[in-house]
Structure 1
Amino acid sequence: MNSTYSALPRASFFNRNKRRLHKYGIIIAFFILCLAVTVIGEVQVTNGAWSSNYFLSQDNILIVFRQISINGILAIGMTFVIITAGVDLSVGSVLALAGIVAARFATTNSNMAIGDTANAILIPTLVALGIGLVCGVINGTILARYRLQPFIVTMGMLSAARGLSLLTTDGNPVSQLNDDFRWLGNGYILGIPVPVVLFAVLLVLAWIVLNKTTFGRYVYAVGGNQKSARTSGINVLKIKVLVYTLCGAMAGIAGLILTARTGSAQTSAGTAYELDAIAAVVIGGTSMVGGIGTLVGTLFGVLIIGVMNNGLDLLGVQSYYQQIIKGALIVIAVMLDPSRKQQRD
């Protein structure tokens, strides 16, 4: 009898720690990854001597944050979409289309230029944002109004946007970009890379929208149970359109930054970027069945992918292994999804 009662506190303690581990597991995993890369770098022997670790240097940290900024911006929009139990496979192609068209308003190449390059920041920014918004509205309207699967609709947009990117320039890249425009990808604000600043600002604004507004509560409600949300008076169609519009806008901004950073707009830009965005969101704890997810988790998902890629590069590991590890992380994250068990039950 006494042994039975004594077992109860231990079970309760385990359950409390299990919930805490699930809540903070992504943060713990990130710091473990950083520690592992640091330790391996320190003990790696080069020419018979201990190698100096470049991973934790200020320069490399800024490189990591600059590298993750584009995927981070895409992942912000993808988080909203996946919380509503959707997915957007078109963000990589929309990114390319927005970058190509925006670059034509910022190039000094007379054969490719559209308009006056004197407005090499404002006009391209508005163009890229506008293209992203339009593509997002089309995705959201079609899948919500006709109740089609997001996978099918956004896959169609993936193909259409990629085709428009090729058609816009006959498959040719747009180069010779204005220096003012390139500042968006390579400039600094108070010593911090501009892409990192933009990512941080967008992340904070998105967090406020998702956690402090009625729209954010409706996003979770639609993802949790569409029928109940509709019964409660929530305009499910409107919420879905707005969510995909937001995701398209993020893709447009990401395309703008990527083009400015690389110095040219390539028709092949953004290939498979949607997979990295989905991976970051899922690794960050957002449930693919909807209703569960946080932008803080997405941030750490993006950081894990960025640190993993950077660390493996510094350690001389081939990029092929990065894809394998990334795929394994996605599968493990989905397997650990608590809502998966609830859905199965």
Structure 2
Amino acid sequence: MSAVGTTTVTSADPPASADAPAARRYLPLAGAAVALATAIIVAGLTNEAFLTTANALAILRSAALTGIVALGATFITVAGRFFSLALGQTAVFGGVTFALLMSHGAPFALAVVATLIVTLILGAVQGALVSMGANPIVTTLGAGALLAGLAGLATGGKNVRIESTSVEWWGNARPLGVPTQTWAFLILIVVAWFVMSKTRFGRQTVVTGANRATALSSGIAVWKVTTVVFVVASVAAGIVGIFGAAQFSQARISEFGGLDFDVVAAILIGGTAIQGGQGSPTRTALGAVFIAMLQNYMLLLGWSFGIRTTIMGAFILVVVVSFHLVRGRAGAK
């Protein structure tokens, strides 16, 4: 039995000290929830279209697509591997793979499983390269460019149509009034929280990101953790690619253009430490909802793409600097 089995790290966030109240561990999550609730109230009071049912469902669907990928990518960041910049193109490639299989008569279930296996392999290759010392940013940037080229070659630069009632249902149905993408997002939030907080792999991920030397001396197979976190993120992107193709009954190579930016933003706004070792899938999910809500609000106000992008960039910068200052002060005490 490796030493990690007895490590005291038992959650995705640092444990509270012995003399601190247990509730302190939940303050970051509570703070994120309060900030989100405040933003909803302000947006609702300043724009009457914001709180309509149709708009709320649109926000939830948008947040789900970003959030599902961000949940998987959180594992990469917590493990100390920064980010993956190939997830948007992985989603595109997954959508194209799924659409091509469906258009050639593959059963729906087989097309889904095959697509997820393909994205699993893509993540495993990138994770293996990073575990051998390759820079994660450079590696995933190159992988994203490669996948974009392959998707273009496979489709001839054209959209791939899907004619299937099953696919259409998965992309557009609303069980109990809630989009299928949102149901998947909610389920995966619980799964990601459980894996990060309650499983041995989750503890290994946190320890690896907090101190790689300690992880190695504790008997943790850091190379395996690195590979698996990239697999998790890649499969999450594959799920979103399938949902994207199902929603529009076609795969488009131009889709998910801003997904990588939104995923990174959700992770950072959720308070995950860039250097690794600290983070929470639950807070990442709240970050994804906040981003979708903010973008939706700016669209309702009629602001241009340039203004929206500038505000998002400035907001992320403020959040990252604020978290850095808060953690710096906490570490100095």
TM tier, smaller: 0.7 to 0.9
Q: TM-score, normalised by structure 1?
A: 0.84
Instruction: Give the letter for the 2:52 counterpart.
Output: S
Map Cα deviations across residues 210-234 of structure 1 (whole Å, 9 max, x no partner): 1110110111000100000100111
Structure 2 counterpart of 1:202, from 188, 192, 199: 188
CA distance in 1, matches of 2:183, 2:26: 31
Q: Cα gap change, 1:330/1:35 in structure 2, threshold over 3 Å: closer, same or farther?
A: same
1:130 corresponds to: 117
Map Cα deviations across residues 37-67 of structure 1 (whole Å, 9 max, x no partner): 11111xxxxxxxxxxx222222221121111
Matched, 1:77 2:63: no
1:58 corresponds to: 53
Matched, 1:29 2:24: no
Query: Contact 2:99–2:162 at 8 Å: present in 1 too?
Result: no
Structure 2 counterpart of 1:94, from 75, 83, 90: 90
2:14 corresponds to: none
Structure number with bigger Rg:
1
Q: Could you tell me which runs of 5 or more consecutive residues in structure 1 were left unpaired when the two chains were aligned.
A: 1-16, 42-52, 108-113
Query: Contact 1:139–1:153 at 8 Å: present in 2 too?
Result: yes
Query: Contact 1:280–1:305 at 8 Å: present in 2 too?
Result: yes
Map Cα deviations across residues 303-328 of structure 1 (whole Å, 9 max, x no partner): 11011111122222223322112111
Query: Contact 1:66–1:193 at 8 Å: present in 2 too?
Result: yes
CA distance in 1, matches of 2:55, 2:330: 42
Instruction: Give the letter for the 2:63 counterpart.
Output: I
Shift of the alpha carbon at 1:19? Answer: 9.0
CA distance in 2, matches of 1:162, 1:174: 15
CA distance in 2, matches of 1:88, 1:305: 19
1:309 corresponds to: 295
Map Cα deviations across residues 70-94 of structure 1 (whole Å, 9 max, x no partner): 1011101111111112111100011
CA distance in 1, matches of 2:261, 2:52: 29
Query: Contact 1:94–1:132 at 8 Å: present in 2 too?
Result: yes
| 182-191 or 213-222, which deviates more | 182-191
Q: Cα gap change, 1:324/1:18 in structure 2, threshold over 3 Å: closer, same or farther?
A: farther
1:192-341 to structure 2, matched below 5 A, reads 192-338=178-324, 341=328
Shift of the alpha carbon at 1:125? Answer: 1.0
Root-mean-square deviation (CA), in Å? Answer: 2.2
2:101 corresponds to: 105
1:160-199 to structure 2, matched below 5 A, reads 160-199=146-185
Identity of aligned residues (%): 29
Aligned residue for 1:233, secondary structure, equals: coil
Shift of the alpha carbon at 1:255? Answer: 0.4
Query: Contact 1:91–1:251 at 8 Å: present in 2 too?
Result: yes
Deviant stretches of 4+, over 4 Å: 17-23, 342-345
Instruction: Give the letter for the 2:115 counterpart.
Output: A
2:19 corresponds to: none
Q: TM-score, normalised by structure 2?
A: 0.87
Map Cα deviations across residues 192-215 of structure 1 (whole Å, 9 max, x no partner): 211111111112111111111011
Query: Contact 2:126–2:227 at 8 Å: present in 1 too?
Result: yes
Q: Could you tell me which runs of 5 or more consecutive residues in structure 2 were left unpaired when the two chains were aligned.
A: 1-22
1:40 corresponds to: 46
CA distance in 1, matches of 2:305, 2:331: 36
Shift of the alpha carbon at 1:187? Answer: 1.1
Instruction: Give the letter for the 1:103 counterpart.
Output: A
CA distance in 2, matches of 1:201, 1:259: 20
Query: Contact 1:128–1:255 at 8 Å: present in 2 too?
Result: no
CA distance in 2, matches of 1:19, 1:194: 32
Higher RCO (CA < 8 A, seq sep 6+): 2
2:7 corresponds to: none
CA distance in 2, matches of 1:135, 1:18: 39
Aligned residue for 2:250, secondary structure, equals: coil
Q: Cα gap change, 1:271/1:234 in structure 2, threshold over 3 Å: closer, same or farther?
A: same
Query: Contact 1:98–1:127 at 8 Å: present in 2 too?
Result: no
